[in-house]
Structure 1
Amino acid sequence: MKNQRLAAELEQEIFAFLEAKKSLMLAVVDLQGLPIASYAPFVAHQGALYILVSSLANHTAALENANNASVLIIDDEADCDTVYARRRLQYDLVVEPVIRDSEHWQTIGDALLQRHGDIVAQLLQLGDFQMFKLSPRSGRFVKGFGRAYELAPNTLVSDQLDHIRG
């Protein structure tokens, strides 16, 4: 019973954390196998993360050719007691393009607009902006020293968390 309550509390904390953060740090590998780190504003929708990025950015070409990416969503340094134990979510993801002008493009575009404001309406009209769906394979929520939890597979937020022990 206590473990179920803790899992439910962690699930709510993860959901609130995702809602509070507006951007994610993105890691992908280009065609030559070189790593690229970047960031992008995001929206969580029906168990996946979505980003809208310019094809002029190096990470976009890598996303087009990648099946995998990793993202990190993390507390600001100014909001934590120690830089070594920042609260964070990390996901390993499957990357899929969202077809421009599809119903799904419109739905996610509206969600991005609501979350990030009027700039999104302009970006959606630019031909060089592409949308990607990032579906989780695995994830980890770290609250601090000795408080790291593996998420259930294929979920952004899960009430089935396993405490990681060293």
Structure 2
Amino acid sequence: MANSDDARKDQKSLIRPTDDTARLQAKGLVRTARFGALAAIDAATGHPVASRVSVATDMDGTPVILTSMLSGHTEAICQTPSCSLLVGEPGKGDPLAHPRVSLFCSAKQIMRQSVEHKRLRRRYLSRHPKAALYADFGDFSFFRLELMGASLNGGFGKAFELDPSDLIAPVEDLPTWASLEEGAVIHMNEAHLDAVKLYAEVLLKAEAANWRLACLDPEGLDLVAGDWTERLWFAKRLSGPEDLRPTLVALALQARNT
């Protein structure tokens, strides 16, 4: 018993105090994730089952997946909503040296006729446009993976425990923001791709590519180019939808003057 207690104390001592740097890293991993490993409890056997799933996020940062009701992992999360999602690109070299975050979640199925469904469908397809081929099939459903907690591994010796409030940023006046996002994304991609390109290549130092704006929220922009995803954080969280346009203009001016 003493050895077990000592081991737990040693494990706890390896957890670093959560700070803003850790929060931003974890939020960035979730916001830019294209895929993740979903872990759930198999409904038939009771064994853990892990599946690769494509990932997007709702405006508040909650992970969103689209799955077929015919798949084993969908049956699993319908039977037992408690699940986990691991995100983080392995990169070159030792995969254990790259940051990743484990999200402890409760899966919530989104009803097809709901307001949530329209918003999540738009945001998901902006990140995974090829999913438009099957997103509206009757056996596919969107799920919000409501966050219960998280464990961030920022690399060797960089472990953090996070609360939902460290990752999720509730959006006030969500209907207004959702409506604004839909129009702003279309407008930026049709009329201001030069600015989007500057955001990615100048402000984020991303490689030259056909960048477009995928999603936005009060904390930043999600930019995509094929398989690449970048997150541009605003200097501070926007207080309301009226702050979006001047912020985008200011970012473009900043990039042009850099």
Fold conserved (TM > 0.5)? Answer: yes
Distance in 1 (alpha carbons) for counterparts of 2:56 and 2:50? 19
- Given candidates 149, 161, 165, the residue that maps to 1:150 is 161
Correspondence for 2:144: 133
Alpha-carbon deviations, 1:23-77, whole Å to 9, x = none? 110010122312211011111212421110012211111111112001111222x
Q: Which has the higher strand share?
A: 1
Answer whether contact 2:22 2:160 (CA < 8 A) is retained: no
| Number of matched pairs | 152
1:43 is matched with 56
1:27·1:38 contact (CA, 8 Å) conserved in 2? yes
Three-state SS of the structure 1 residue aligned to 2:149 is: strand
Secondary structure, counterpart of 2:19 in structure 1: helix
Rounded Cα–Cα distance in structure 1 between residues aligned with 2:93 and 2:158? 15
What does the per-residue CA deviation read over 1:73-111, in whole Å, with 9 as the maximum and x for residues that have no partner?
A: 1222xx244233331010111111111121111100000
Aligned twin of 2:42: 30
Q: 1:156 to 1:103 in 2, by over 3 A?
A: same
Gaps (5+ residues) in structure 1? Answer: 159-166
Q: Is the 8 A contact 2:23 2:167 kept in 1?
A: no
Q: Identical aligned pairs, as a percentage? A: 25
Q: Provide the C-alpha distance between the structure 1 equivalents of 2:103 and 2:52, rounded to a whole number of angstroms.
A: 14
Does structure 1 residue 12 correspond to structure 2 residue 8?
Answer: no
Is the Cα contact below 8 Å between 2:38 and 2:83 reproduced in 1?
Answer: yes
Residue type of the alignment partner of 1:55: M
Structure 2 counterpart of 1:126, one-letter code:
F
> Which is higher, the Rg of structure 1 or of structure 2?
2
> What is the RMSD computed on CA atoms of the aligned residues?
2.3
- 8 Å Cα contact 1:25/1:72 also seen in 2: yes
Which of 20-29 and 39-48 deviates more? 39-48
Quick one: which amino acid aligns to residue 162 of structure 2?
Answer: L
**Bigger relative contact order (CA 8 A; separation at least 6):** 1
For residues 96-115 of structure 1, what are the structure 2 equivalents within 5 Å? 96-115=108-127
Task: Tell me the TM-score normalised to structure 2 length.
Answer: 0.54
The amino acid across from 1:68 in the alignment is: S
Contact 1:11 1:157 in 2 (8 A): no
Q: Structure 1 pair 56/123, CA: closer, same or farther in 2 (3 Å)?
A: same
Structure in which a larger fraction of residues adopt helix:
2
Q: Is the 8 A contact 1:98 1:104 kept in 2?
A: yes
Q: Which residue pairs with 1:57 in the alignment?
A: 71
